[in-house]
Structure 1
């Protein structure tokens, strides 16, 4: 009996420790602190390539709705941006007012401490952040692959670029239901690939997959269903034609 009780106590301790570590999140790491400092310093400045910060309001697209065709069609882009993403931005404003949010702090800081806020803030703050990043990291004339330090890190971490793409596509394709797949820098300043459900993201201290996002893809059905129907894999494969690796490269260079 004593042995069984001891084993149970150890499991309980490990479970509690895991939850405590999760609650601290990426924001408690050195890279998380540096990331927040960079986001704070960027606020109220003109956004540049590789900007790490995200504002609280929806920003205009830098390209037309039809600019990403044939990979993402104009109707999907217009509905996605003007209805879905706009809804998250509006509901985030409502949540901010309801909870008297201190908007002097970056949105990224709110997400890193999202356990202190309501489910409404989590869903809509996450949805707004995720979509703002998604739009920013695509462009019509996108380069086909990363360069510089990021390319070297991808090769060192995953074997080569194609192996990374396969792992990323697997994360996107196996995310059950709605969610996102990500390439992040983790708290050890290493690259990692994973996914999150719904509108969660790796910044959140409640997320089981944590890190600073470099690249994310929306795998909610509204992101692709009009053109690809149930063929999520085809949509994910087409995404590589749109990734703005210049932005992703610069984000990585600023983090490590």
Structure 2
């Protein structure tokens, strides 16, 4: 057996093992994991297991969403920081609140990637396994005053998310008038640019739900409320009102 034939046999065997699952999935995933360049932006830990939000959001979706999609935004943000040094020195919220001050050469990249980093960091913290089923205290009172009930508010958020054409987010925010409001943003735009402060937000990009729900975005939005960390949402509201 010559060397070329031996290498072909080894390559074929490795492919068969991977296809059969005998090579661990983590080893295969490691081959496609994005590089982590140095820089001021860091991928935050998820804070709970990929499977923690099942059956509402499946483990594979959470793994890909966090370790691939969010990681890509972080990596791209670090590359932008290498081109515009101020990006790594200023608070993200300050930058995203007024993108007109960002140099035009990197503005679109900052909007998409720094915005994506901020949105996803907010999103992970807003979900938790086994949390309270509804808000309480000041947030509950404000929701009842503004929408009539928590269910009515959720319906409005779901409508905003379901009505978002293409990719984007639906948000419950405190607006400039210090009132609760529901808005939707496109792509990785944030409420910050609108002068609003997020209380909760749900990702309606297809990568957030497609493995489990396919084109049934409405089913995903309905299920997502079972994952909300209402304690965190209450803290977000309190901070937004100060």
Q: Which category describes the TM-score, using the shorter chain as reference length? A: 0.7 to 0.9
What SS does structure 2 have at the residue aligned with 1:65? coil
What is the deviation of 1:116?
2.4
Relative to structure 1, is the Cα distance of residues 92 and 70 closer, same or farther in structure 2, using a 3 angstrom cutoff? same
Deviation of the 1:126 alpha carbon:
0.6
5+ residue gaps, structure 1, are 1-54
TM-score, L = length of structure 2: 0.79
Query: Which among 225, 232, 243 is matched to residue 217 of structure 2?
Result: 232
Per-residue displacement from partner, 1:222-249 (whole Å, max 9, x unpaired)?
1000000000000000111000000010
Asked if 1:89 corresponds to 2:78, the answer is: no
Paired position in structure 2 for 1:79: 64
| Partner of residue 199 from structure 1, selected from 168, 175, 188 | 188
Match of 1:82, SS? Answer: helix
Structure with bigger RCO (C-alpha 8 Å, 6+ apart): 1
TM-score, normalised relative to structure 1: 0.75
The answer to whether residue 43 in structure 2 is matched with residue 70 in structure 1 is no
What's the CA shift string for 1:18-63, capped at 9, x where partnerless?
xxxxxxxxxxxxxxxxxxxxxxxxxxxxxxxxxxxxx832111110
Query: Alpha-carbon deviation of 1:142?
Result: 1.9
Q: Which residue, 133, 150, 157 being the options, matches 1:161? A: 150
Q: How many residues align?
A: 198
C-alpha RMSD of the superposition: 1.2
Aligned to 1:125: 114
1:217 to 180, 187, 202: 202
The gaps in structure 2 that reach 5 residues or longer are 1-39
The residue aligned with 1:172 is 161
Q: CA deviation at 1:102?
A: 4.8
Aligned to 2:226, which of 230, 241, 244? 241
1:84-134: CA deviation from partner (whole Å, max 9, x where unpaired): 010001101111111122533211001012122210111001100000000
Q: Paired residue for 2:172? A: 183
Q: Secondary structure at the match of 2:202?
A: strand
Partners in 2 of 1:56 and 1:192 — Cα distance? 30
Work out whether residues 96 and 121 of structure 1, in 8 Å CA contact, stay in contact via their aligned partners in 2.
no
Look up the SS of the partner of 2:226 in the other structure. Answer: coil
